[in-house]
Amino acid sequence: MSKVFEFVKTLLVENMQIDESKINMDANIIEDLGADSLDIMDIVNDIEKEFNVTIPQDQYENLRTVGDVVNFVEDKLGK
């Protein structure tokens, strides 16, 4: 799996104490993993810092699954 996925997985496990086995590219961050808006903001902040990208707030609603987040960041990184 990609570096971005691994980072997002670590965030979800460490910040939200989510069972690692539940985290895959199709997992819906709010519905399947139980995140709320504070978790999302927290995760986004960490991703922005780690990869030096900006994720505008109006994009948050498009980032529903772990895969959405990973793909968005990888696109920004030009991978």
Partner 1 sequence: MLNKGLNILVTGGVRGIGKAISLAFSKYESNIYIWDINDNGFDELKSTIESNGSKVFFNKVNIADFAQVEKAVNDILESNNIDIVINNAGITKDNLLMGMKEDEWDSVITVNLKGTFNVSKHIIRSMIKKRSGCIINIASVIGLMGNKGQANYAASKAGIIGFTKSLAKEVGSRNIRVNAIAPGFIETEMTLKLSEDVIKEYSKMIPLKRMGKADDVADLCVFLASDMAKYITGQVINCDGGMLM
Q: Report, as residue numbers or ranges, the catalytic residues.
A: 36
Q: Where are the beta strands (DSSP E) in the chain?
A: none
Cβ 53 to partner 1, closest distance in Å?
18
Cβ 4 to partner 1, closest distance in Å?
21
Per rule CB under 8 A, count of chain residues that contact partner 1: 5
Among 25, 32, 33, 42, binds partner 1 (CB under 8 A): 42
Is position 50 an interface residue for partner 1 (rule: CB under 8 A)?
Answer: no
